[in-house]
Amino acid sequence: MNEELKKTGTTTVGITCKDGVVLATERRATMGTLIAHKNTQKLFEIDDNIGMTTAGLVGDAQILVRYLVAETNLYRLRYGRPMSIKAASTLMANILSGNKYMPYWVQLIVGGVDSDGGHVYSLDPAGGSIEDIYITTGSGSPYVYGVLEDHFTEGMTTKEGVDLAIRGISAAMKRDSASGEGIDVAIIDEKGFNILSEKDVQDRIKKMKLKA
């Protein structure tokens, strides 16, 4: 594989909160030093209770999203209930592991809410799946981890989690040249999967007085 195609930059984050899960990404897609696209979707609704963020090769990420959407839909039809977050993560991990010798060049976060509460899982190209209270992936992740380590608190609400995710990705966009072009944020809770409007995100940025 062309080495330049591997050098894809991204910033994504998943945060567990007492009333749900927050997932967020920025929108820039790069190929080496080239900004290839300025409005790339990296945050996906998998089911009403599950979302996924993607970092890495766009084609690999898109096909993996299609696989997981199809499998969760079939599960719901077969059993009459949504798939658990652990099951969705394990399924995706098995798909990745089955291709480890010709791997999908991605880092994924699978997150959502089920009968056991909110969960976020980090998945690597070899099929590793690890749950944590918060996760960030991509080239901008070191900057986000600094923000999360400093500001995350147990029992925070999704409203607070959204502000924290925006703060973290904003920090990455200031220092990571492969991250930029705006922020997408979703809340997953008992009401389902909800993507925040651009106006809501911008209003929160202004309220927190984050500099562009």
Does residue 212 lie in a domain region? no
Structural domain of residue 77, as residue ranges? 3-205
Whether the predicted pLDDT of 3 surpasses 80: no
Q: How many domains does the chain have?
A: 1
pLDDT, tens digit, 9 for 90 and up, residues 149-196: 999 999 999 999 999 999 999 988 888 766 667 899 999 999 999 999
- Domain CATH for 39: 3.60.20.10
Mean pLDDT of 197-211: 89
Would you say residue 211 lies in a domain? no
What pLDDT, in 10s, does the model give residues 20-61? Answer: 999 999 887 777 777 767 878 999 999 999 999 999 888 999
Give pLDDT tens digits for 71-129.
999 999 999 999 999 999 999 999 999 988 889 999 999 999 999 999 999 999 999 99
Residue 210 maps to a domain? no
In a domain, residue 150? The reply is: yes
C-beta of residue 147 within 8 angstroms of C-beta of residue 167: yes
Cα separation of 27 and 178, whole Å?
Answer: 10
**Is 87 inside a domain boundary?**
yes
Report if residue 49 sits inside a domain. yes
Q: What are the residue numbers of the active site?
A: 10
**87 CB neighbour count, 10 Å cutoff:** 15
Quote the pLDDT of residue 177.
Answer: 66
